[in-house]
Each structure stands twice: as C-alpha cells, then as structure tokens.
Structure 1
Amino acid sequence: MKLTAWAVERDGERGRNVHLLVTVEAESDAPRAPVAMNLVLDRSASMRGAPLAAAVEAAQLLVERAGPKDYLGLMAFDGVPEQLVPLKLMDAEARAELSESLSALQAGEGTALHEAVDSGAAAVRRLFIPGARPKLLMLTDGEPSVGPRSLADFRTLGGKVAESGITLHALGLGRHYLPEILEALTAPAGTGFTHVDDAEGLPVAAAALVAELFGEVGTDARVYVKPMGFTELLCRHRYPARVEGDALSVGLGSLSHAFARRALFTGRLELADWSLGVTTTWTENGDTRRVSVPVQRVLPDSTEGRFIRAVGAELDLVAAESAAWKSLVRRNPIAAEQSLKVAEEALRELVRLAVDAVPAKRHVERLADLKLAVERRASELPALMVRRARAADAHTGLSIIQPAIPIRKAGN
C-alpha cells in the first residue's frame, strides 16, 4: 500500500486550524481478491425497452470481466424478487448460463426494492467462499412501490447488510429513483452510489464499477488519528467514525487498484506545539496489516498544501450544492441562494488552486444548472440535476470520485 499523511496549518474562523489528509492507495501490481457478487437488477415496468436493454448490456460487462475464481449470481425484481441464477463459479458453463439469463429478462410490474436487497444479500450470505469478497450490485430506476418504503427502513437494511460483511454498490438510473434511499443503503458500506442520466450512460458507469469491483486488494481499511495539542478533531469525509481510546477511528471500507481512499481531518489547535499520530489498518489475504504513517508538515502553497486545500474546497462545493437543491425542494429560495454562493466560492477556489487531481471542470455544468434553477426559483425542479448532485455529494463525501476506466470487451 502507498500511505501518506500531509498536514497543513492555517488560520480559521475560530483560531488556528490544522488540516490533515491521509491517503491509502493500493499498489497497481497487488493481486486482487476474488469476488462473490449477486447482481440485483430492476425489471419493473419503467425499465421496459431501452433501460432494461442497457442494464443487460452493463451487466454483461461484469460477466465478461469476471475471472475464473469469481462467483456471480443474478436476481431480478419487479413486485417480487427472483433469484434467477444462484451464485456460481464463473467457469465457461456458468458464464454462458448467466449471460443467457440476462438476455432473457423481461419487464414486469411493481418495485419491491427493500425485499430485493434483503433477499439478494441473504443469497450472498448463504455461500461462503474463503478469500472471496461478498458483494451486492443493485440497479434501479424507480421508487419502491411494494413492501417497506420509509427511509428509516432502508437505513436499517443498509446497516444490516454492511454488518454482515457484504459491500453494497448501487446504480440509480434516470429521474424516478430516490437518491436518499440509495445513499441510506450504501453509506454504511462506504461506497456511495452512482447516478446515470439515461440508458446510454449505463455502460460507462458500469465500466467504472467494474474497475472498482474487480480491483479490490484489501478490505476493512481504517485510519486512527491521535491528536495532541488540539481542542477538537473532525473527519470532513462522511466515513463511519467512532472514538477509540484517545484516537478518532474512521472506516474507509475497501481498497481497489483504481480508487485511492482519502480522509480529510480538520482540528482546532489549543497549543502551538501539536502533533498527530496516524495509524492505518486493513485486511489483505486474510491477514490484518497495521502500519504507522509519519505525518509530513507542509506549507499551504506547496504542492501538497494546495492539494489538501483543493480536497476541502471540493467537499464544501458538493455539500453546498446538495444543500441548495434540498432548499429548492423545500420551497426555500433564500436558503438555496445562500448555499449557491458557498458552492460558487468553493468552485472559484478550485479554479485558483488548479490541482489536476481535483479538477474544477467536473462541477461547472452542475452548478450552472443549479444557478439557473435558483434564479428562476423553479417550481418544477429538474429531477436529473437533483439526483446527479446527490450522487456527486455521496461520492465526494466518501472520496471515490474517479474518472471512468474504459473496459474492452472480450475478444477486442
């Protein structure tokens, strides 16, 4: 693993602050672990036609990329979930069966989202493959219409799935799914969810997920930060956090080749003489690794200092953007305008810093749409923009925004 911890000291609104950025990145040549993954695909009436065809194409990418030690299964759901193919080792026969079952999918009626996730996870739990990573990949384009529908129910379910050791990934398609539900399901696993505007974008989104799903090197990554000389310490990213003894412990989730995990901490100083002790742990090949990471103090205008500032600015931007959309939904235009100003200032800061790894341009289009909605005080909000913003907020908050990696089909 590549491990770094950079700290920069700066003036804050309530005194002197220290910003600490911890990065954990898998080596590109580290061997990946096999996966045991259940594909949970929505085949409700709204998926009929192009959406279902695109979902099948995206799922076929996963089948093609799966290795000979991977296990895949297929559950489809409308008003009732159905395990069409149990989790099987991806030999030639199983690969052909799964591909054929995907091609034969037809749309039905109803959306039993809660039961589908619960049943899909149960199928994964029933099969133990030593060394394999249990996973669930769910795709939906609609709101639940059958079974539990409250956000609290889905939060409970997301926690239950994560506690059982299963990592849940989710794709939300179009304008009708509820981003709050996907966030509730995926946040406990530290994955966030992916938004796709339309059926044409599904293969690209699936390609990025393939890189993450089939590139996993370690699991249960955690960072421990022990502060000395501070009055408080906060983790800016929304990873699950807890206090353990005299340290703040933050769970980063899984580590994949394509996705560095970063955690930004901000602490308010009490003493001029301060220190931060950083330790990381993760599980790799069945063994728990524990490594102390030396903290390098950097200047605000150094390359590392500008990177820390850019990560913080991006977190501010997407949080304010999401807050603005929420205010518009609640018919509170004044609060939306205030949040928009915060987001625009954060965008300007990203432009000033010009850090290649945190590009400002990926936020420009969304903020332009938000500004137009705020200026018009739109009575009918563009649902795609709201969901896109919520997905960006979820991913940035969990430090997993990365460019999509092209996947070449077998035989090309």
Structure 2
Amino acid sequence: MAVIASRGDTMHTNIRFDHQLLAVEGEHDVHCMLELDAPAAPPTDRAPLHLALVVDRSGSMQGDKLAAARDAARFLASHLRPTDELALVAFDDEVELVAPLAPADPARLAAAIATIDARGLTNLSGGWLKGLEELNRASGDGVRRVLLLTDGQANEGITDRTQLEQIAAGTRARAGTTTVGFGEGFDEELLTAIAEHSNGNTYFAASPEDAPGIFAEEFEGLATLVAQNVSVEIRPAESVELLGVLNDYPIVEVPGGAQAQLGDAFGGERRRLVFAMHVPQLAALGPARIADVVLRYVAVGDEVAAHELTLPVTVNLVSADEAAVAELDAEVNDEIWLLRAARARNEAIADFDDGDYEAGSNKMLGIRDLLLSAAPQSSRGDELLAEAASLAESADVHAMDDPMWRKRNRNLAWRRQRGR
C-alpha cells in the first residue's frame, strides 16, 4: 500500500490490490485500485465561477420543462457571488444571447430569464457553442462551465455526434460542459459524450421536479471544486501487461502506457480508479515493482498550481503456500463488483438496442446474484444490496418497454463508472 500526503492542497493517494501477495514463479492477473482523496474545500474562499447556462426553448420544452429551466437559472443567479459571472443563452432553431457574460446580478438575470419562451426546433450545437464563446470572455482564473439543458435531439446546426465529441474534447482544457436531459425524448448518448469528452457531468431528469436537486448537486460541486484536469497515467513495467481500466473514463494511449482522464475533483470527495494487469512469472521473493502511476492535476484556490506525483505500484511475491491463504482486499473486490454491475447495465442496453431483452435481463440478474452473495461479508453490504435490488428492477423485461428505461440505466452506469 502506498500513501502520499503533503500540503493541504495536495491529494492523498492510496494504492491497494485485490491480491497483495502473489505466488512466486506463477503468472497472475491482478486488480489495482488507486484511491484519490481530494482535500477539503476552503470554508469561505473559493475560485470564481464563470458559467454559461444554455437552455433549450424548442416547442417540446413548453410548460413544466421550460418552467423548471427558468427555475434553475434563478437558482444559479441567487447563489452566485459578485465575483462570479453568468451568461444566459436560449436556443431553438435560432440562438439568442439572452444575457451576456457579466458579474452575477440577480435582478438583471431575473428580467432576462422571464423573456425565455418555447418555440422552434433544436439547434443544440449552436446554443452550446454560443455558451462556450461567452466563456472565452471570462476574466481571470476560476472555474468555467457550460450548463446545457435540453429535452430533444440535435436536428439543426451540427448534428453529427463524432463532430460534437471532437468539439467537446477540444474545449476540455478551457471549459467543461455539464448536460441535463429532460424527459424521454433527448439523445442520452450524445449528451453523455459531450459531458464525457469535456470533463463535465451528465444528469437525467425524468420529470421537471428532478431539476432543483440536479442543479443543487452541480452547484455544490462547482462551488467546492479543488482540482481540475485530474489524470492518471499507468505505466506497466517491462513484460507486465495493462489489461484494461474498469471505469469508464476517457483513455488516451501514451508512450509506455495509458492515461485515464478523470476530470474535476470536489472538496472532500474520494475517487477510485480500478485497472487490471497481467504479471508474468517472477522468480525472486519479496517486493516487485510492476508499474508506476503518474497523477497530474491543477489545484484550484487562491493560487492555481500544477501538481505531479509518481507512485510505485508494488506487490509482494511469496511462497505458493503463503499466497494460497492470503485474504482478498474486500474493498477492492467490492469496487470491482460494482463496476462490473455498471458494465452489465451497458451491455444490457446494447442487447436492448438489438431487441434481445432476455439476454440483457440475464446479464443484469447474473451480476445481481453475485452482489447478493458478496454483501454479507462486505463492509459496503448495504451498497451492494441496493445495487442488486436496482439491477433486479431493471432486469424485468416488462420494465424495458418504459421509454425511460434506457436513459435511466445509461445514467446509473455512467455515474457509477465515474465515481459520482
């Protein structure tokens, strides 16, 4: 186990394995879990927020959905500080800059919000790009984030998903995009991809009543942001093979390994990254360094500071008899099961898209049974049981006829695999 701790703005790291002790002169597949504990956010001071709220006002948003979007805008306006900035963009088939980026003024924003009404088609790309354009005018340091609300499909402007993903990836270093999909008509794969490639978050609002909680959660995260552009580079030792990362972070191949891009970290939160490696036969007893991980991030606060830590990944080689009686690390094992449950949801969605409801159901029920078996011995037993119950509910083939089924399970899988 490795623990690195230093100044208060530094992340605490912990490396652990499902099997810490490996039998000498044998080949092994091992799972490594890197835990990142973000420092607590300062009690008063925080980085300024530069936000662009981009609201879909197409005809399908009329009524409760648009009212919820207006309420979200009012929530942001009322919680921002004078040092924060907010822009408001509305789009249908046309794009309107309702309020340019400026220091937060609740009265000014309230008047602007009241002018947003429903009409037209959905030029999602145009509204989003206008929000990003406004954030380019933000002054000084701080957190830059587009908040994109929509209930529909991109059917005007740029509609190609690959092109929109490329735009999102190109903006990652400057501004993230958080997406909120309302109801049953939005394209969850597109909104998830935009958030994923830009280091933002994605949310599913089954009804307008979900919006206040979503915006409270997102605002709390932005207000307690302590690190941005968090990445973990995995560098296996010679002859050790990286088999894969169980989380669903963007992965970039780099010389000597792969880099997982974790995005932002909020004050006091714990993020986990689990990856698997194949370790070849090693002849010597004792510690063996099988990889390095390089943690990089930018600390956000009174000063913006880049950090880089290189951590050794070391296992212990012991006799076959000693390895045979060594206990598993239950925390690592539990995290593996929960990530496999998320993967089962995504695989079930693929089966659902192919019309094979039974295959998708069986995948989720198989993981459900394993979670039920693991729960009694787990310190996270309640969490495993809750996930098992959720999988059982989703595995009901009759539930798959619900238009919300796909969106709900896609979002549950994404949040689990991102540690949200």
TM-score, normalised with respect to structure 1: 0.85
- Match for residue 153 of structure 1? 163
For residues 128-207 of structure 1, the aligned pairs below 5 Å read 128-162=138-172, 165-207=174-216
What residue is the counterpart of 1:262 in the other structure? 272
Give yes or no for the alignment of 1:225 onto 2:249: no
> Could you say if the C-alpha distance between residues 274 and 357 of structure 1 is closer, same or farther in structure 2, counting changes exceeding 3 Å?
farther
Opposite residue 36 of structure 2, the aligned amino acid is V
User: Taking structure 1 as reference, are residues 29 and 398 closer, same or farther at Cα in structure 2, changes over 3 Å only?
Assistant: closer
Could you list the per-position Cα deviations for residues 161-182 of structure 1 after superposition, in whole angstroms to 9, with x for gaps in the alignment?
A: 32x5211111111111011111
How far did residue 99 of structure 1 move?
2.5
Distance 1:343 1:112, change over 3 A: farther
In structure 2, C-alpha distance between the alignment counterparts of 1:390 and 1:344, rounded to whole Å: 17
Alpha-carbon distance between aligned partners in 1 of 2:15 and 2:403, rounded to the nearest angstrom: 39
Q: Is 1:386 the counterpart of 2:386 in the alignment?
A: no
Shift of 1:349: 5.3
Q: Deviations over 1:167-215 (max 9, x none)?
A: 1111111111011111121111233411111011111111111111221
Query: Does the 8 Å CA contact 2:289/2:315 hold for their aligned counterparts?
Result: no
User: Which residue of structure 1 lines up, in the alignment, with residue 30 of structure 2?
Assistant: 18
Indicate the SS of the match to 1:108.
Answer: coil
Deviates more, 1:233-242 or 1:49-58: 233-242
Cα distance change of structure 1 residues 355 and 157 upon mapping to structure 2, 3 Å threshold: farther
Task: State the secondary structure of the residue aligned to 1:360.
Answer: helix
Which whole-Å CA distance do the structure 1 matches of 2:174 and 2:379 have between them? 36
Partners of 2:37 and 2:126 in 1: CA distance: 35
Query: 2:368 touches 2:392 (CA, 8 Å); kept in 1?
Result: no
Residues 365, 395 of structure 2: 8 Å contact kept: no
1:140 Cα shift?
0.9
Cα distance in 2 between the residues matched to 1:187 and 1:169? 9
Q: What is the identity percentage for the equivalent residue pairs of Structure 1 and Structure 2?
A: 20
**Given that residues 220 and 251 in structure 1 are in contact (C-alpha distance below 8 angstroms), is that contact kept between their aligned partners in structure 2?**
yes
CA shift for structure 1 position 139? 1.0
- 1:61 maps to which of 65, 75, 84: 75
Counterpart in 2 of 1:410?
Answer: none
From the superposition, tell whether residues 53 and 347 of structure 1 become closer, same or farther in structure 2 (CA, over 3 Å): farther
Deviations for 1:310-355, whole angstroms, at most 9, x for unmatched residues? 2211111122112213312321235324423443245335634544
Q: CA deviation at 1:9?
A: 1.9
Task: Quote how far apart the aligned CAs of 1:113 are.
Answer: 1.0
Sort the Cα spacing of 1:137 and 1:296 in 2 relative to 1 into closer, same or farther, 3 A.
farther
CA distance in 1, matches of 2:334, 2:195: 25
Task: Report the Cα offset of residue 160 of structure 1.
Answer: 3.0
Q: 2:112 aligns with which of 74, 89, 101?
A: 101
Q: Report what 2:309 is aligned to.
A: 291
Unaligned ranges ≥5, structure 2: 1-10, 283-287, 317-322
Counterpart residue number, 1:409: none
What TM-score, normalized to structure 2? 0.83
Partner of residue 6 from structure 1, selected from 10, 16, 41: 16
3-state DSSP of counterpart to 2:244: strand
Aligned counterpart for 1:278 among listed residues 267, 288, 293: 293
TM-fit CA distance, 1:369? 3.5
Name which one, 1 or 2, has greater alpha-carbon Rg: 2
SS at match of 2:192: helix
Structure 2: which amino acid aligns with 1:35? L
Q: Which 10-residue stretch deviates more, 279-288 or 150-159? A: 150-159
Asked if structure 2 preserves the Cα contact closer than 8 Å seen for 1:324 and 1:337, the reply is yes
3-state SS of paired residue (1:222): strand
Quick one: structure 1 residues 258 and 193, their matched pair in 2 at CA, closer, same or farther if it must change by over 3 Å?
A: farther
| CA–CA distance in structure 2, aligned partners of residues 87 and 385 of structure 1 | 37
Quote the residue 2:250 is aligned against. Answer: 240
Q: Deviations over 1:74-126 (max 9, x none)?
A: 11112212111111122xxx22211332233221121111221122212212x
**1:329 pairs with one of 330, 353, 358:** 353
Q: What pairs up with 1:261-410 in 2 under 5 angstroms?
A: 261-272=271-282, 273-284=288-299, 285-293=303-311, 305-348=329-372, 351-352=375-376, 354-356=378-380, 359-364=383-388, 366-373=390-397, 376=398, 381-399=401-419, 401=420
- In structure 2, do the counterparts of structure 1 residues 74 and 336 end up closer, same or farther at CA, with 3 Å as the change threshold? same
Q: How does 1:60-99 map to 2 (within 5 A)?
A: 60-90=74-104, 94-99=105-110
Distance 2:188 2:243 in 1: 29
Which stretch of the first structure deviates more once superposed, 272-281 or 169-178?
272-281
- Alignment partners' CA distance in 1, 2:167 and 2:67: 29
* Number of residue pairs matched by the alignment: 387
**Paired AA for residue 159 in structure 2:** R
- 1:120-150: CA deviations, max 9, x gaps? 212212x142212221111111122323333
What is the alpha-carbon distance in structure 1 between the residues aligned to residue 377 and residue 139 of structure 2? 47
